[in-house]
Amino acid sequence: MPVLLFPPLLLLLGSTLIFRAKLLLLCRLPLPGHVRGDPLRTWRWHNLLVSFAHSIVSGFWALLCVWQTPEMLVELETASSTSGYLLVCFSTGYFIHDTVDIVVSKQAQASWEYLVHHVLAIAAFVSGIFKGTFVAGGVMTLFVEVSNIFLTMRMLMKLSNNQDCVFYQVNKYVNLVMYFLFRLAPQAYLTSFFLRYLGQRTEGGFLLSILLMVDLMILIYFSRLLRSDFCPGRASLRHNKDKFLTE
């Protein structure tokens, strides 16, 4: 574990409070007309803006960590750096903040899939934070945040009823490419790496079980994305307001 000036718990608390402060600041920004006046859409808009900020920072931070410490791509268990460790703490703080925000805002039922994902991510990251192992693996899982930049832009445009604009049409193809490069490909690599721990009673085996559940969720999300953006005729006609047309 890198030598740090602050204990892990303080780092987690600090990063969580950072995202809470971001939410309070973003709530001061003007709202799109299609969102304004609807408390549910307003909450979701602010929630997505915080997610967008997290994706931009953590996605490029993860790429920078690997560029600075290339062995992270190979030694997922033992390779580490102070920057990578802080990144994992930073993102764990986001997941904690978002979990609390969803529960406090009484959106747990509508957003249960996000809650499941966040609980899995927190369990995996906290394990690495306090034991100092698999920091590189945590950094690589955050490659997904590069993809999330474009995915969140898509969700914001749908939420504000701008899915017919040219930017949305261009973004849906960029989003698809980024989904392959920064979500599906890294997950496939991570899964193949952690499969070596199958059957072993180690932290790697615990992380593999989490990874496999996340793999399943990612494939489900991918099928929804394809159905919604590229096969709209086959998409379900059932309208669920709580999901804000995010499929």
Does a structural domain hold residue 240?
A: no
% the chain with pLDDT above 90:
73
Q: Which residues of 55-71 are buried (b: 16+ CB within 10 A; e: fewer)?
A: bebbbebbbebbeebee
Does a structural domain hold residue 212?
A: yes
Which residues constitute the domain of residue 126? 8-26+35-231
Does a structural domain hold residue 76?
A: yes
Q: Which of 50-59, 74-83, 157-166 has the highest mean pLDDT?
A: 50-59
**Prediction pTM value:** 0.91
Residue 17 three-state SS: helix
Does a structural domain hold residue 247?
A: no
The per-residue pLDDT for 82 is: 93
CA–CA separation, 211 and 42 (whole Å): 32
Does a structural domain hold residue 112?
A: yes
Counting the structural domains of the chain, the total is 1
Query: In 3D, which of 148, 142, 132, 8 has the Cα closest to residue 63?
Result: 142
Does a structural domain hold residue 77?
A: yes
Q: Could you write out the three-class secondary structure of 89-141?
A: HHHHHHHHHHHHHHHHCCCCCCCHHHHHHHHHHHHHHHHHHHHCCCHHHHHHH
Task: Count the residues in the chain.
Answer: 247
Query: What number is the average pLDDT over the span 16-33?
Result: 93
The per-residue pLDDT for 3 is: 55
pLDDT surpasses 60 at 236: no
Q: Model confidence over 160-218: pLDDT tens digits?
A: 999 889 999 999 999 999 999 999 999 999 999 988 877 666 677 888 889 999 999 99
pLDDT surpasses 70 at 244: no
| Backbone CA torsion sign across 19, 21, 25, 27 | positive
Does a structural domain hold residue 246?
A: no
Amino acid, single-letter form, for residue 97 = H
| Residue where the block lists tokens 């408390």 | 39
Does a structural domain hold residue 236?
A: no
